[in-house]
């Protein structure tokens, strides 16, 4: 297990590293653009996320480098007696740090944040092709109870 | 198809009807409380949702009655080139209005809202036990590409 991980809010200088993590992925690769050429687009999105108190874009830093990223969204709602839920999106661990427990530490940290805030539920979806990721979430106590449906516009 | 549906933002007086819709469901029944006894809890949640510009609690009204409800959450993010996604939660149609196309009209309306806003993706999860609902979403073009994982805290 990595013992020297720092979790912190992402800042603008982290943006190229975050986009690189999103792109360095068999499923996500084709979906990202060049962060320099598309800087304005990515920066606008970054600022939208950062400005929103219910969204938290996080980096996991090891030895001064961005080793992982995830986004937390706190969704208020009426159902389950007004339970606020925490949603985890865009989880990525850099290739150099895979297989060493960083993903586990990141999700445990995110669940801890949700618990501290008083959320009653943590939820995420994982592409069905990511069978390792799905088993990993199940090993952390997540239940594969729902179908995740997406519609591209 | 119902032709007289009005979609509007939920207001405080709609709260008992919304909670009743959430509770009138084989899966959701055990998760809700008495809206009178738990009024403070539900009202606090309602106000959290209403105050947030990225959350939109909606009712579908027919002949002055709340016939359906859903919640839209607009989630900003870096991935997919800074795509904002619209998430649909807590979709319910009253027993009296089921099987008449209201659900279809509600989801089409929600997708239209997302498109108008410029979202690149609409997403939702549906309990695997709701096989009719899942087929219904697929018929609207949603792809069952993800596992939906939940962890109760």
Number of H helices, E strands in chain A: 5, 6
Please work out, in degrees rounded to the nearest 5, the angle formed at the alpha carbon of residue A18 by the alpha carbons of A16 and A23. Answer: 95
ipTM of the complex: 0.95
pLDDT at residue number B132: 92
Residue B67, min C-alpha distance to chain A (Å): 17
Question: How does residue A33 score in pLDDT terms, banded at 50, 70 and 90?
Answer: confident
Q: Is the pLDDT of residue B33 over 90?
A: no
Burial tier of A43 (Cβ tally within 10 Å: 0-12, 13-18, 19+): middle
Q: What local confidence, expressed as pLDDT, does residue A95 receive?
A: 93
* A146 with B126: Cβ contact below 8 A: yes
Chain B neighbors of A148, CB-CB under 8 A: 123-125, 144-148
Residues 122-141 of A with CB under 8 A from B: 122-128, 134, 137-138, 140-141
Mean pLDDT of B6-32: 91
Structural domains of chain A ordered from first start: 5-139 (3.40.630.30)
Q: Residue A24 has what pLDDT?
A: 87
pLDDT band at A26 (very low <50, low <70, confident <90, very high): confident
Q: Which residues of A touch B15 (CB under 8 A)?
A: 78
> What are the b/e assignments for A3-21, b being 16+ CB within 10 Å?
eebebeebeeebbebbbeb
- Non-local (6+) Cβ contacts of B64 within 8 A are none
Residues of B in contact with A107 (CB under 8 A): none
Q: Is A8 left (phi over 0), alpha (psi -120 to 50) or beta?
A: beta
Burial class (CB in 10 A: 0-12, 13-18, 19+), B1: exposed
**How far is A149 from B135, CA to CA, in rounded Å?**
11
Between B45, B121, B148, which is nearest A152 by CB? B121
Would you place residue B81 in the very low, low, confident or very high pLDDT band (cuts 50, 70, 90)? very high
Distances (CA, A) of A92 to A67, A100, B12, B72: 8, 13, 40, 26
Is residue B1 very low, low, confident or very high in pLDDT (cuts 50, 70, 90)?
Answer: low
Instruction: Band the pLDDT of B28: cuts 50, 70, 90.
Output: confident
A44 contact residues in B (CB cutoff 8 A)? 82
| Cα A12 from Cα A51, distance rounded (Å) | 12
User: Has residue A3 got a pLDDT over 70?
Assistant: no
Calculate mean pLDDT across residues B119-130.
97
| Inter-chain CB proximity A90 and B73 less than 8 Å | no
What one-character-per-residue DSSP string does B53-110 give? TTEEEEEEEETTEEEEEEEEEEE--SHHHH--EEEEEEEEE-GGGTTTTHHHHHHHHH
Kindly indicate the confidence band of residue A39, based on its pLDDT and cuts at 50, 70 and 90: confident
A66, β-bridge pairs: A61
B94 token code pair: 């009253």
Percentage of chain A exceeding pLDDT 90: 85
């Amino acid at each position: 297990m990595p013992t020297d991980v720092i979790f912190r809010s992402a800042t603008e200088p982290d943006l190229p590293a975050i986009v690189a993590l999103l792109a360095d992925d068999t499923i996500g690769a084709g979906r990202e653009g060049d962060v320099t050429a598309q800087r304005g687009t990515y920066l606008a999105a970054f600022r939208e996320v950062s400005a929103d108190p219910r969204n938290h874009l996080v980096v996991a830093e090891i030895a001064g480098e961005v080793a992982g990223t995830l986004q937390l969204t706190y969704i208020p709602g009426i159902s389950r007696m007004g339970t606020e839920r925490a949603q985890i999106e865009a989880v990525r661990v850099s290739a150099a740090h895979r297989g060493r427990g960083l993903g586990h530490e990141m999700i445990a940290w995110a669940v801890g944040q949700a618990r501290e805030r008083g959320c009653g539920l943590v939820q995420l979806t994982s592409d069905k092709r990511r069978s390792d990721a799905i088993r990993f979430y199940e090993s952390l106590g997540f239940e594969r109870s729902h179908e995740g449906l997406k519609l591209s516009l």
